[in-house]
């Protein structure tokens, strides 16, 4: 049937909390766009100077746990370091509200992607957008790749997987060359 209920349940994003991990240049640009959509933007970045939150109209939280517990969607924008490797994993994703979303366009190793299909099947995550993996060419037995390629897997249609090309457009290729 042709009905909006086919996409249910859909929730309005205005007023929901977007949690940003890493508020550098790209994290800040993401925050500004989310604010324009009416989202409440909170960020966790222990290296960001004081006052940045007020200057940009976003909320700082002091711990990753505090950010995850309140975020309806989490967007990753931090570098991959020993400190951030698998920062998002089974335990930290379990802190997020049921039905949340996770997006990683930063670096693959920040998220332990092996736990994502189970988090989606359990309902902890409503979906995930993954533009980066720990390896440039993820192995075919990677749990996210397997779930994404299997139309019968319960997480298949809740995963958006791209090959580190979130930047891509014909114009961006020209900009890169310039």
Give the catalytic positions in this structure: 107, 136, 164
Cα distance between the two ends of the chain: 49
Helix (H) or strand (E) holding 32: helix 25-36
Q: Round to whole Å and give the CA distance between 156 and 127.
A: 9
What does residue 12 show for φ and ψ, rounded to 5 degrees?
A: -65, 140
- Is residue 100 a contact partner of residue 71, using CB atoms and an 8 Å limit? yes
What does residue 39 show for φ and ψ, rounded to 5 degrees?
A: -80, 150
Q: Round to whole Å and give the CA distance between 136 and 85.
A: 16
């Amino acid at each position: 049937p042709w009905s909006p209920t086919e996409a249910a349940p859909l929730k309005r994003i205005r007023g929901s909390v977007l949690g940003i991990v890493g508020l550098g240049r790209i994290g800040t640009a993401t925050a500004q766009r989310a604010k324009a959509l009416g989202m409440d933007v909170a960020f966790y970045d222990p290296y960001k100077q004081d006052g940045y939150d007020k200057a940009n109209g976003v909320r700082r939280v002091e711990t990753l746990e505090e950010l995850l517990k309140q975020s309806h969607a989490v967007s990753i924008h931090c570098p991959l370091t020993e400190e951030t490797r698998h920062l998002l994993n089974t335990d930290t994703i379990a802190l997020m509200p049921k039905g949340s979303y996770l997006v990683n366009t930063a670096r693959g190793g920040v998220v332990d992607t092996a736990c994502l299909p189970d988090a989606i099947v359990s309902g902890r995550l409503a979906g995930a957008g993954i533009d980066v993996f720990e390896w440039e060419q993820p192995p075919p037995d990677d749990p996210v790749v397997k779930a994404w390629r299997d139309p019968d897997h319960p997480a298949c249609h809740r995963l958006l997987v791209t090959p580190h090309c979130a930047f891509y457009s014909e114009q961006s290729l020209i900009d890169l060359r310039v």
